[in-house]
């Protein structure tokens, strides 16, 4: 009898995902016996995340390939694993004070964040279409539940339902695109697809193109690029604030790195046929994201539109499809993680017992009453707008550098002009904080852990702006 050989698996390189899976299940089971006190769950989740982060450095020689070439741990995926673990840890830290105040008592919250992180890690390392699909589903299903975890809140329910219905629809496009790609090339491995295209032995070029377009639609939805962005403002507004920050960083970064891998590894050969389409999407994403943000009055909706516009910049790095683009995306997402978690930390600090104070006008007069917090907010806003000497500037600089190297000058000019537009609504908040008087006294909740997160974020934003080299070396 012939044996089916076991696939080569390097367990050390898989350690982050394995550790987080085990801790996710552990937290789920602990919740059943922990009762009302969730501190133990928080502690266990953070331990799991720290262990996973440390174990990401364990592989000695990169890249390590497992499961017959469908899972690779390289510098890019290790760096993204760190981003994911870091952003999940910050989400949990932000939730410690936010959740009890806003009536989120479900212990599954922490388990779902851990499982979502596993999905993101799988996604960042996937080099096979099926693996990518699996990762995207693990991430999405956790997020659908997390968006609606405020069960009594109508907006949260709306967010979950909208996200689920549109997300399931988009997954359909993604799977269809993958099947067409498989039909055209006869393999689901990204490297295999590239080989078949290179040798010119595709079954049908039409299928290949159709599959590529469907993949752009599917990924476009997952990263919230125009015209597949309509869910983002509603979902970002309705989801609990820590979950919104989480969604804006982790899953978005994971989808982007999968997007990058598919387009830069599998189908770069036919790049000239899809980069025009992607360029239109990128420009539309930047323009609609920025101009949409200008008219918002709710801070979470504003950040949702701003996050859409940032995807536009990131798509430029995918269009560039060189190795510089990959590390530019990695650097950008790390910088973005600091900025977004800091901003949402302040959004959470502004919340009171009965009201979350999500209107932009609530920020009026903050500069007088809470000068330190207003200063932090100013740093985040300037950094999001891409002003030196903060992390956002360097991040944009690398993205534009990668694009210029490949000759996409017009695209970069449009992106820079968009950055200028974005400064308007970022500075609007700064002006409100310093130049206007507040309408009423706010009772800031001033949780020490949330303050600590904001402090970490400010440090990161400035540090990455002044000394970009250490982080940049990690990404290459």
Partner 1 sequence: MLEQYIGATVMFIMAIGIACGMVFMTSVLGPKRHFAEKMEPFECGEKQIVSPHQRFSVKFYLVAVLFVLFDIEAVFFFPWAILFKKLGMFGFVEMLFFIIILGVGLCYVWIKGGLDWE
HSE toward the beta carbon, residue 340, CA cutoff 13 A: 34
Considering the complex, state which of residue 4 and residue 61 has its C-beta at the smaller distance from partner 1: 4
Contact 86, 16 (CB under 8 A): no
Alpha carbons 300 and 312: distance in angstroms, whole number:
19
Handedness of CA 306, 310, 311, 315 (dihedral sign): positive
Q: What is the CA radius of gyration of the chain?
A: 22
Tokens of 292: 């949409």
Beta carbon of residue 112, minimum distance to partner 1 (angstroms, whole number): 12
Considering the complex, state which of residue 38 and residue 229 has its C-beta at the smaller distance from partner 1: 38
Beta carbon of residue 24, minimum distance to partner 1 (angstroms, whole number): 9
Considering the complex, state which of residue 28 and residue 444 has its C-beta at the smaller distance from partner 1: 28
Considering the complex, state which of residue 1 and residue 61 has its C-beta at the smaller distance from partner 1: 1
Beta carbon of residue 247, minimum distance to partner 1 (angstroms, whole number): 24
Alpha carbons 253 and 124: distance in angstroms, whole number:
9
Considering the complex, state which of residue 32 and residue 61 has its C-beta at the smaller distance from partner 1: 32
Alpha carbons 193 and 191: distance in angstroms, whole number:
5
CA angle 462, 302, 432 (to 5 degrees): 70
Considering the complex, state which of residue 35 and residue 200 has its C-beta at the smaller distance from partner 1: 35
Beta carbon of residue 128, minimum distance to partner 1 (angstroms, whole number): 18
DSSP for 80-136, please give it.
HHHHHHHHHHHHHHHHHHHHHHTT---THHHHHHHHHHHHHHHHHHB-BHHHHHHHH
Considering the complex, state which of residue 121 and residue 335 has its C-beta at the smaller distance from partner 1: 121
Considering the complex, state which of residue 3 and residue 353 has its C-beta at the smaller distance from partner 1: 3
* Residues ≥6 apart with Cβ < 8 Å to 141: none
DSSP for 194-214, please give it.
HHHHHHT--S-HHHHHHHHHH
Contact 337, 256 (CB under 8 A): no
Give, to the nearest 10 degrees, the angle between helix 75-101 and helix 108-125. Answer: 160
Beta bridge pairs of residue 359? 298
Beta carbon of residue 21, minimum distance to partner 1 (angstroms, whole number): 8
Beta carbon of residue 141, minimum distance to partner 1 (angstroms, whole number): 12
Contact 75, 473 (CB under 8 A): no
Contact 315, 278 (CB under 8 A): yes
Considering the complex, state which of residue 151 and residue 369 has its C-beta at the smaller distance from partner 1: 151
Beta carbon of residue 471, minimum distance to partner 1 (angstroms, whole number): 36
Considering the complex, state which of residue 160 and residue 394 has its C-beta at the smaller distance from partner 1: 160
Beta carbon of residue 12, minimum distance to partner 1 (angstroms, whole number): 18
Beta carbon of residue 106, minimum distance to partner 1 (angstroms, whole number): 11
Give contact residues for partner 1 (rule: CB under 8 A). 1-4, 6, 25, 28-29, 32
Alpha carbons 126 and 144: distance in angstroms, whole number:
22
Beta carbon of residue 3, minimum distance to partner 1 (angstroms, whole number): 5
């Amino acid at each position: 009898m012939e044996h089916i050989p076991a696939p080569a698996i390097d367990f050390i390189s898989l350690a982050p995902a394995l550790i987080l899976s085990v801790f996710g299940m552990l937290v789920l089971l602990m919740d059943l016996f922990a009762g009302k006190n969730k501190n133990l769950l928080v502690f266990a989740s953070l331990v799991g995340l720290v262990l996973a982060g440390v174990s990401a450095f364990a592989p000695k020689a990169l890249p390590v390939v497992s499961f017959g070439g469908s899972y690779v741990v390289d510098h890019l995926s290790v760096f993204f694993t760190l981003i994911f673990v870091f952003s999940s840890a910050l989400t949990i830290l932000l939730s410690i004070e936010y959740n009890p105040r806003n009536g989120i008592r479900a212990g599954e919250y922490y388990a779902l964040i851990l499982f979502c992180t596993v999905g993101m890690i799988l996604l960042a390392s996937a080099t096979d279409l099926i693996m990518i699909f699996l990762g995207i589903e693990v991430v999405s299903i956790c997020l659908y539940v997390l968006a609606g975890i405020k069960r009594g809140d109508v907006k949260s329910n709306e967010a979950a339902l909208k996200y689920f219905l549109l997300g399931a629809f988009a997954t359909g496009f993604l799977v269809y695109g993958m099947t067409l790609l498989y039909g055209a090339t006869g393999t689901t491995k990204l490297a295999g697809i590239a080989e078949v295209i290179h040798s010119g032995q595709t079954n049908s070029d039409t299928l290949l193109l159709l599959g590529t377009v469907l993949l752009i639609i599917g990924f476009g939805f997952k990263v919230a690029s125009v015209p597949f962005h309509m869910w983002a403002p509603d979902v970002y507004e309705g989801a609990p604030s820590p979950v919104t920050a989480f969604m804006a960083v982790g899953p978005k970064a994971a989808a982007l790195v999968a997007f990058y891998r598919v387009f830069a590894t599998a189908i770069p050969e036919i790049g000239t046929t899809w980069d025009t389409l992607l360029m239109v999407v990128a420009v539309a994403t930047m323009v609609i994201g920025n101009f949409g943000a200008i008219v918002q009055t709710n801070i979470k909706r504003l950040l949702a539109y701003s996050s859409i516009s940032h995807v536009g910049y990131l798509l430029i790095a995918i269009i560039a499809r060189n190795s510089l683009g990959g590390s530019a995306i990695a650097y950008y997402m790390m910088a973005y993680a600091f900025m977004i978690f800091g901003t949402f930390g302040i959004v959470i600090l502004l919340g009171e017992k009965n009201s979350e104070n999500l209107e932009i006008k609530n920020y009026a007069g903050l500069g007088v009453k809470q000068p330190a917090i207003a200063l932090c907010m100013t740093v985040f806003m300037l950094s999001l707008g891409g002003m030196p000497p903060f992390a956002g500037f360097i991040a944009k600089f690398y993205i534009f550098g990668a694009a210029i190297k490949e000759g996409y000058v017009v695209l970069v000019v449009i992106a820079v002009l968009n950055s200028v537009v974005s400064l308007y609504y970022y500075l609007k908040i700064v002006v409100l904080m310093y130049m206007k008087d507040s309408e009423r006294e706010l009772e800031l909740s001033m949780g020490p852990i949330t303050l600590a997160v904001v402090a970490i974020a400010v440090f990161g934003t400035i540090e990455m702006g002044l000394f970009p080299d250490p982080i940049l070396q990690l990404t290459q």
